Amino acid sequence: MNIPGLEAGQAVYTTDEYGRPFIIVREQGRKTRTHGVDAVKKHIMVARAISSILRTSLGPRGLDKILVSPDGDITVTNDGATILGQMEVEHQIAKLMVELSKSQDDEIGDGTTGVVVLAGALLEQAESLIDRGIHPIRIADGFERACSIAVSELDRICDTVPFSQTDTDNLLISAMTSLGSKIVSKNQRQFAQMAVDAVLAVADLERRDVPFDLIKVLGKVGGALGDSTIVRGVIIDKDMSHPQMPREVHDAKIAILTCPFEPPRPKTKHKLDITSADEYRKLREYEHKTFEDMIKRVKDAGANLVMCQWGFDDEANHLLLQNELPAVRWVGGPEIELVAIATNGRIVPRFEDLTKEKLGHAGVVRELTFGTTRDKMLVVEDCANSRAVTVFVRGSNKMIIDEAKRALHDAMCVVRNLVVDNRIVYGGGAAEISCSIAVAKAADEIPTIEQYAMRAFAAALDAIPLALAENSGLPPIETLAEVKSRQVTEGNSRLGIDCSGKGENDMSKQHVKDPLISKRQQYLLATQLVRAVLKIDDVIVAGQADE
């Protein structure tokens, strides 16, 4: 209750119309909003909490998180975008951090943990500057200026890596760097090779374009990670519609149908009354004749295999077997499209439209069987369009397969980025240390107050190598000081944190490489988010007025 002149926390003693006493206290429950600098510091605290969750997952020795869904399903991962995407966050700034990792994942596909850790480090440095009385806008301006210097330094220290369809060593090394921190690290080279092969199979190197929709990643529980393979074609999680149909079809001419093997029905509500055996016999003959006519159209077109998006009943299935026409039913929409792309076939919506020119062509269609239960899948290989590929992932349980798929996606994104722009920087924190030195040096030449923000930006860049050292069991401050000192004295921007314990800090010798566009995007996105957070001094919830 609000009474004019009554301040928050004050109480008034009064009585009701019956003389019973009660106390009126000015409500304080809703007055939780903070304004100005206090609001900025509160937002920074939330962002730092999100960043600290991901900090321990950074690098090849980073730790995994277990995410439990409301249904009790568990996900074990160290992928930043997956962790944040499945977290239940309510605070507005926390949602901005989630969007930050998602935007990095959508645009680049890798580096989702690093961008959040960097944003958290920048906000932590900004908080100490705010405590010293520097206005948040001046801090944001200094961060923008420092970011442009850091990006310029990345362009200076980057190397160009040559590659071709036959020379893929550089692509393989970068993919292995991405997989070093994943659950598939024991099969690092195998998965990296699959990622490179899949991307180069669909890539147009002249246009520098990689259509990811031609790559399908499929998983099946029951084998080891080492049993994973890549197929130059399409794998469909279906089997032949009849157990007596052939298990292999060579020189397959595939009719790809989105119409069902059944008599046509009116598209309105209908009711059919059969009152005699003669009428039933006529209906049965009509259906039988319709099935035969459909099969005849397929055979006349020259098809020796049918893939149908819909199902068909036992009679149609039996007639297909009698006419020696193997068939697959209930093939999903995405799989139908992929088969059509891979085999250069056309999707046919009506039997009347089926012609020889619309058939898809494949060298062989064969069944794969798994385990004691003999689970079956179909493999379409040697397709007319060899650009479509399927990566088939095996694992001991669904959780491992899901994480292996995420790791493979990150590796394929790294290879895709190098196809688009084949410049690389060196990992292990080497690029961050070099940029930190460059920004700190530039700050000494700035006469305005932004120099403090630029030094803070340089200190925030050091958070990445510090986290890598800490997660690898090394003394973080001593390790960073030693590597940074060597970079300055030796002028070698390739020196980074030795996370693998090989006794070598030169990341070019350890073959730890990251795409330049991934690192640049991390800096730009993190700086943009930090600028946005620093400019927010109030949160107003719709429908709630300030008391």
d(CA 245, CA 307): 14
Active site residue 64: no
d(CA 287, CA 430): 72
Written as one letter, the residue type at 67 is L
Query: In the block, which residue shows the tokens 């998983």?
Result: 219
Helices (H), 132-187: 136-157, 169-179
d(CA 469, CA 428): 9
Please identify which of the residues 56, 75, 77, 112 carries the catalytic annotation: 112
Please identify which of the residues 105, 410, 498, 514 carries the catalytic annotation: 410
Active site residue 113: yes
Please identify which of the residues 56, 75, 77, 79 carries the catalytic annotation: 79
φ/ψ of 24, rounded to 5, equals -105, 125
How many C-beta atoms lie closer than 10 Å to residue 350's C-beta? 11
DSSP string, 422-441: -EEEETTTHHHHHHHHHHHH
Please identify which of the residues 75, 82, 113, 527 carries the catalytic annotation: 113
Q: What is each CA distance from 499 to 64, 177, 469, 471, in whole angstroms?
A: 17, 12, 7, 8
Q: What is each CA distance from 390 to 111, 216, 498, 499, 518, in whole angstroms?
A: 25, 5, 35, 33, 25
Active site residue 382: no
User: Are 326 and 353 spatial neighbours (Cβ–Cβ below 8 Å)?
Assistant: no
Q: What is each CA distance from 348 to 339, 340, 357, 359, in whole angstroms?
A: 13, 10, 11, 9
3-state class (DSSP) for residue 212 = helix
Longest dimension (CA), the chain: 102
**Residues identified as active-site:** 79, 112-113, 410
